[in-house]
Structure 1
Amino acid sequence: MGNKDFLAMELNKVEEHLLKTLKTRSKMVEASLKDFVKSGGKRLRPALTIIGSTFGDYKSETVVPLATSIEIMHMATLIHDDIVDDAETRRGTKTMQSALGKNTAVYCGDFLFTRAFMLVADMAEVEMMKDLSKAIAFICDSEIDQNEQKFDQTVDVRKYLKRIGGKTAALFSLSIGVGAHKAGCDKKMTSKLSKIGSNIGMAFQIVDDILDFTGDEKTVGKPLLSDAKQGIFTLPIIYSLQSAYKERTVRAIEAIEEDGGESLLECVKISGGLDRTKGLAMKYISRAIKLKDSLPDGFGKDAITDIIGKQLERKF
């Protein structure tokens, strides 16, 4: 069996496990949760858990529930994100809050968190439960930071990187790290893989923030410039506000409802904001590659190479 076949087979098991885990008394809620699962998603986080586990003693019966729990945590954060953002669609499908109302959607997100912890409770030692809890707390803290920083034109690069470090990179790092740890990898290997996951996560989020300006809605899965319209200033805007085009960028932000963000898109391009953002994404990708190159040859290393390659292929 080839490497890609193995990963696809294990991810299919995760998909089946996801659908089994979403059973609830409310058939309407269960149907919406299953629609949410079936709407797709890259499944990058469970893939990283599977990949991390292959560096040790791989046991599918342990890894699949663990990878499923990671994806369920991710789904829960997305549901809560959509409530905060008042989003109507995600990946071309109605969001939970749009389909069921905000109140029910909040409980759906909470329900998923409990399901995720129930999945790992049978197999996880106290240290792993602590790591999972810390990661969720970090994600929540970073979402709070993002909410508090809305429309704040003084947000700098450091604050932005701290924000995405929690919002996105923490779960990438945890995903591959818990897989390695559960498969019996030593601390050195687990730490290296966690760092690779973190760098991939940082690059992933920065590329997402570029695609919010330059992508197409089908690829991005939500309307373009949706972050900027909500007052979430990502790296292209931060760099533009720090450039000689600061005043023009401020006017463009103020005109976003009027012109749909056209003048803001022009500002981040001519100020060099987009190019500088691409440069930083490449730095994180380079760090991930450097760490990856020191891994032992085999499936895990090849799979990480593929994931990094996919980040480079995303049209940014």
Structure 2
Amino acid sequence: MKLQMIYAFLHGDISRIEKELEEAIEKENTSIISEASLQLLQAGGKRIRPVFVLLGAKFGDYDIENIKNVAMALELIHMASLVHDDVVDDSDVRRGQPTIKAKWDNRIAMYTGDYILGRSLELMTKIPNVEAHKVLSHAIVEVCLGEIEQIKDKYDLEQNVRTYFRRIKRKTALLIAVSCQLGAIAAGADKSIHERLYWFGYYVGMSFQITDDILDFTSSEKQLGKPAGSDLLQGNITLPMFYALEMPEMKEQVEKLFAGEHDRITAIIEDVKRSGSIEKATKVSDLYLDKALSVLDELPPSKAKNTYNRIAKFIGKRKF
């Protein structure tokens, strides 16, 4: 089953959000930055954050005219972080397409990321709820800290696995968490509801990112839309590699890779697969997924709750 089939009942609202995202980005249609932004948007994506916003809003007074602005803002913040990530990681390919920094340059990419972020904040001004703005502001600060940490930790084989969990919390889990929470806040849901939705989204986000990091070793370039092992080639130590580095010979291999012997990546990937590290990382991802589903159990029955459950299981167990 495709992910979109799980939330098919939201298709009309998602299509509207997609169309209005393009309109928001093309507002300055003479700008090269608008062109670059549109390229990223049209490259696709799972749109998990807008979907989670809409589902969160189903726990309150659902009004698409109000909720769409939150959904678009969260997706734009996510897009801005991707543009900046590609500069930091010197990535030439994303979702099978040239990155903005590859097609233009780093300067255009950084301005594009800033432009997209600015558009997201512009959309959020239409939401009068003060708490929503506090939640979003905190999340943006944490995402920025996550990006800085990623730069600091690159190529560092002495870092602690705790730094990895803190990094993925800031770079991935928090935006998914606040997507669930802000949808509920903007729809006027009770605090007990939106606080539980935050934790549901946080645990799902942690599972989601760990699964992404596993797939970087186990999937093909065609499935990933980028070369397999890209994270490691860019100096990012992820959970499977932390486990693999428990083998003394692995550290020597990765040191040589980081020193420029990039042709070692295929052998390293195969060693990681044989080491049992993938299975260990999968168990951690499953633990976070179980926590997410436990939090969800505390919420009242609804179609939105059931859809959250199915999406969480899908993205936590996906193979692509």
TM-score w.r.t. the length of structure 2 is 0.93
Q: Secondary structure at the match of 2:286?
A: helix
Q: Distance in 1 between matches of 2:147 and 2:33?
A: 25
- Report the AA paired with residue 132 of structure 2: M
Residue in structure 2 matching 1:77, options 78, 81, 90: 81
Give the distance between the partners of 1:61 and 1:13, measured in 2 at CA: 10
Deviation at 1:258, TM superposition (A): 4.4
| Aligned mates of 1:135, 1:12 — CA distance in 2 | 26
Aligned to 1:111: 115
State the SS of the aligned residue for 1:55.
coil
Whether the 8 Å CA contact 1:52–1:176 is kept in 2: the answer is: yes
Pair 1:115–1:258, CA change in 2 (3 A) = closer
Aligned in 2, Cα 1:312/1:114: closer, same or farther, shift over 3 Å? closer
Partners of 1:61 and 1:299 lie apart in 2 by: 21
Deviation at residue 27 of structure 1 after TM alignment: 4.1
Deviation at 1:280, TM superposition (A): 0.1
Deviation at 1:99, TM superposition (A): 1.7
Amino acid at match of 1:4: Y
- TM-score normalised by L of structure 1: 0.94
Shift of the 27–188 alpha-carbon distance from structure 1 to 2, 3 Å rule, reads: same
Q: 1:17 is aligned with what amino acid?
A: E
How many angstroms does 1:147 deviate by? 1.1
Q: Aligned runs of 1:169-188 on 2, under 5 Å?
A: 169-188=173-192
1:16 aligns with 2:16: no
Displacement after TM superposition at 1:312 (Å):
3.9
* Conserved? CA contact 1:83–1:102, under 8 Å: yes
2:295 equivalent to 1:287: no
Structure 2 matches for 1:95-174, cutoff 5 A? 95-174=99-178
Question: Is 1:275 aligned with 2:279?
Answer: yes
Q: How far 1:294 moved relative to its partner?
A: 2.5
Q: Which residue of 1 aligns with 2:269?
A: 265
CA drift at 1:35 = 2.2
Deviation of the 1:25 alpha carbon: 4.9
Pick aligned residue for 2:30 from 21, 26, 29: 26
C-alpha contact 1:173 1:193 (8 A) present in aligned 2: yes
Total equivalences in the alignment: 312
Aligned residue number for residue 200 of structure 2:
196
Q: Aligned pair in 2 of structure 1 residues 3, 158: CA closer, same or farther (>3 Å)?
A: closer
- Quote the RMSD (CA, aligned, Å): 1.7
Q: What residue ranges of structure 1 are gaps of 5+ in the alignment?
A: none
**Contact 1:96-1:105 within 8 A present in 2 as well:** yes
Q: 1:59 to 1:236 in 2, by over 3 A?
A: same
Partner of 1:4: 7
Change (3 A) 1:108 1:171: same
Does structure 1 retain, via aligned residues, the 8 Å contact 2:49–2:71? yes
| Letter paired with 1:234 | T
Residue 301 (structure 2) pairs with residue 300 (structure 1): no
* Distance in 2 of aligned mates of 1:42 and 1:195: 21
- Separation (CA, whole Å) in 1 of partners of 2:8 and 2:243: 42
CA contact (8 A) 2:34 2:112 kept: no
Query: How far apart are the structure 2 equivalents of 1:166 and 1:177?
Result: 16
